[in-house]
Each structure stands twice: as C-alpha cells, then as structure tokens.
C-alpha cells in the first residue's frame, strides 16, 4: 500500500485498534475464567486472538475509508484524510483492506481449528463489509454492531470454555453481548452521526442522523427529536444492562471492601456516561475538536464500566491490563499521529 508509515496508520484508524483487538480477547478471557483455567494460563492464545481482532479492525476501517471517500470530500474539515488527499490510492486501500481481513484467519486457526470460531470471524467480516459498502445509503449501524458481536463470539468459541447448558454461562454471555453491541451501536449511529452531521446530509448520505433530520445549522448541531430520544433510550438500555450485570450476574459482594469498590466504580462510570453524553446530544456548537474530546471521554467511561463488571471473571490484574492497554494505545497513538491525546483527525 502506497504512503508513508504515519499515513497508513491514520488510514487504518490505528488509535482505536486495541479496543477492536480486545473484543475476542474479552470473550475468551471471561470464559477461560469461568471454566476455572484463568486468563493468564492462556495468554499466548489471547495474544493471537488480539491479532485476529486487529486484522478485522484494519479491514473494517480501511474499507470504510475507501467506500466513503466521496462523502468525506464534501466536508471542509476532512481534506487531510489519506484517501481524500490522495496520499493513498483507492486501489491500494482496497487491496490492504481485503488482505488484512483474510490474514485474520491465521492467528485464529492457531488458537482453534474448530468450525465455529472461523465461521464467526467470517460472519464478522461479512457484516462489517456490508456496513462499510452500504452504510451511507441506509442506516445499517446494527450490522456494524453485529460484526463486533460475531468477533466477540469468535473469541468465546475459540476458548472452548462456554458451557451452553449452564444458565449462569448463558447470562454472562447475554450481558457481554448486550454491553458490546450497544456500545458499538451508540458509537457509530449517535457519535458518528453527530460528528459527520455537517456533510453527510449535504452529500446525500442516508445515515440514521441524516434521515431523522439531524443537521448543522448556523454552526450548531440541531438533533431531531427522534435522534435524541433514540440516543438516550440506547444509553438507558446500556446502563440498565450494566447495573444488572453488576448486581445479578457478577454478583458483586457489597459486604466486602472489594465488592463495594467495584460497585462504586460502576456507579461512577454510569454517571460519567450520562454527564458526557449531555455535552454532545442536544443543540450544541458544532466544534469537531470539542465533540471528539467528549466522545473520547464517553467511550472510555463506557468501556471501563464493562471491564469492571467482568473483573470477577477475569481477575483483578487482568482487568487492569484490559483497561490500561486500550487507553494507553489510544492516547499514545493520537499524540503520535495527530498531536492531541483526545482529538483524532477523523
């Protein structure tokens, strides 16, 4: 693929690669823990699953940039993006995306040669690819969220730790999928819709934000009632599942210092999600840099909440790694590529 190293990293949206890479890792680690082995006993397999998730990330974001290049050209703020500026050719970008997607099968097969992990990864590629190719023609954000669900399930299947006959295992899996699905749906349909509201509608894109009438007028975001209600309903459901996971599934012991501490962290994350969301869902100034800072803070709080409720399954030290890795990766990548920790140039 043509282009300098930093250009290719920007094209692949490498700043959020660790978060995508951890989707199958989290799925596997939780069920390694539930099966009694523990995550650390399978650290090599988890590293391979991370590589598979990273390949899906590169596939999805590069294909998305390739598919959306004409829409992005309608924005005055996105002229520096690698495909818009011509720093990377469309043909090279498409080849890189397909190659990365195919490469993801290799580390997955090194973990498990069973049918289900590979089938689920293929489903993840298919769903994510469909969103990338047609997501500006119709609101297909559910397909992207489902793509990440399939990736998480690929990790679960590769671990071999899921006992489908166990009611507790089924509840844990339901909670995990619910939190992951709603986080990705909100991130793309709501945050992405607001971020691109200045040019999506003008370019004829039919995203959820555009078809519900969300616009940028006189320098301010004007969200439609349907868009705002959907945003708050989606987040409300997410918070409900998070609280249910903490109280009923993870069964945090509120009589212990550790249990109380974890519950306090869950409550802080929930408050942080609501507070940050109030800063971008509503009639606010359309300042892309400001919005991206609030999006970043919101997503960090959302992800932290998930890690806290799975900490009893994966263990405290591994949970710390799950928090530290994507945060350090995100902040470091943004500083290296864009010069600002919370403002990726997307």
φ and ψ at 216, to 5 degrees? -110, 120
Residue in 37, 309, 49 with CA at minimum distance from that of residue 156: 49
* C-alpha–C-alpha distance, residues 14 and 179, integer Å: 23
CB atoms within 10 A of CB 285: 11
Q: Is residue 345 part of a domain?
A: no
Token pair in block for residue 56: 């899906």
Residue partners of 216: CB distance under 8 A and separation at least 6? 197, 198, 222, 286
User: Is 147 within 8 Å of 127 (Cβ atoms)?
Assistant: yes
Q: Is residue 116 part of a domain?
A: yes
Residue partners of 20: CB distance under 8 A and separation at least 6? 53, 54, 56, 57, 60, 148, 151
Looking at residue 172, which CATH number applies to its domain? 1.10.357.140
Residues in the chain: 346
pLDDT of residue 346: 61
Q: Is residue 343 part of a domain?
A: no
Q: Is residue 97 part of a domain?
A: yes
- Number of domains the chain is built from: 1
pLDDT of residue 6: 85
* C-alpha–C-alpha distance, residues 25 and 154, integer Å: 9
Q: Which residue has the tokens 């918070």?
A: 239
* C-alpha–C-alpha distance, residues 290 and 230, integer Å: 22
| Distance of alpha carbon 27 from the chain centroid | 14
pLDDT of residue 240: 97
CB atoms within 10 A of CB 317: 11
* C-alpha–C-alpha distance, residues 174 and 322, integer Å: 20
Token pair in block for residue 170: 């089924």
Residue partners of 253: CB distance under 8 A and separation at least 6? 259
User: Is 227 within 8 Å of 214 (Cβ atoms)?
Assistant: yes
* C-alpha–C-alpha distance, residues 172 and 143, integer Å: 22
pLDDT of residue 193: 94
One digit per residue, pLDDT tens: the chain, 346 residues? Answer: 555 678 889 899 999 999 999 999 999 999 999 999 999 999 999 999 999 999 999 999 999 999 988 877 776 667 778 998 888 999 999 999 999 999 999 999 999 999 999 999 999 999 999 999 998 889 999 999 999 999 999 999 999 999 999 999 999 999 999 999 999 999 999 999 999 898 777 777 789 999 999 999 999 999 999 999 999 999 999 999 999 999 899 877 777 888 899 999 999 999 999 999 999 999 999 998 899 899 989 999 999 999 999 999 999 999 999 999 999 999 999 898 888 877 676 6
Token pair in block for residue 282: 């509503």
Could you tell me the CA-to-CA distances from 270 to 36, 109, 134, 244 in Å, in that order? Answer: 30, 38, 33, 12
pLDDT of residue 163: 96
Q: Compute the chain's Rg from CA coordinates.
A: 20
Q: Is residue 333 part of a domain?
A: yes
Q: Is residue 220 part of a domain?
A: yes
φ and ψ at 215, to 5 degrees? -140, 165
Q: Which domain holds residue 23?
A: 5-338
pLDDT of residue 198: 86
Q: Is residue 130 part of a domain?
A: yes
Q: Is residue 344 part of a domain?
A: no
User: Is 154 within 8 Å of 51 (Cβ atoms)?
Assistant: no
């Amino acid at each position: 693929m043509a282009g300098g190293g930093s250009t290719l990293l920007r094209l692949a949206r490498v700043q959020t690669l660790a978060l995508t890479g951890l989707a199958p890792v989290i799925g596997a680690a939780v069920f390694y823990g539930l099966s009694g082995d523990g995550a650390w006993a399978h650290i090599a397999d988890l590293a391979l699953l991370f590589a598979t998730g990273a390949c899906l990330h590169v596939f999805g974001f590069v294909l998305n940039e390739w598919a959306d290049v004409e829409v992005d050209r309608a924005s005055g703020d996105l002229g520096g993006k690698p495909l818009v500026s011509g720093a990377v050719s469309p043909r090279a970008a498409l080849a890189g995306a397909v190659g990365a997607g195919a490469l993801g099968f290799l580390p997955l097969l090194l973990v498990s040669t069973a049918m289900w992990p590979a089938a689920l990864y293929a489903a993840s590629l298919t769903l994510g690819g469909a969103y990338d190719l047609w997501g500006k023609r119709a609101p297909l954000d559910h397909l992207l969220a489902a793509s990440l669900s399939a990736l998480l399930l690929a990790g679960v299947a590769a671990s071999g730790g899921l006992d489908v006959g166990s009611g507790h295992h089924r509840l844990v899996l339901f909670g995990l999928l619910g939190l992951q699905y709603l986080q990705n749906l909100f991130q793309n349909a709501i945050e992405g819709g607001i971020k691109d509201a200045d040019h999506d509608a003008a370019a004829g894109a039919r995203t959820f934000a555009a078809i519900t009438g969300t616009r940028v007028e006189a320098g301010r975001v004007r969200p439609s009632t349907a868009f705002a209600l959907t945003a708050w309903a989606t987040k409300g459901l997410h918070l409900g599942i998070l609280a249910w996971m903490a109280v009923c599934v993870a069964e945090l012991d509120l009589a212990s210092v550790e249990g109380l501490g974890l519950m306090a962290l869950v409550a802080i994350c929930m408050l942080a999600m609501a507070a940050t969301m109030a800063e971008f869902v509503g009639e606010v100034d359309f300042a892309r840099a400001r919005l991206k800072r609030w999006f970043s803070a919101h997503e960090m709080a959302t992800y932290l909440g998930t890690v806290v409720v799975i900490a009893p399954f994966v263990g405290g030290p591994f949970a710390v790694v799950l928090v530290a890795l994507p945060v350090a990766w995100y902040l470091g990548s943004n500083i290296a590529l864009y010069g600002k920790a919370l403002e990726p140039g997307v």
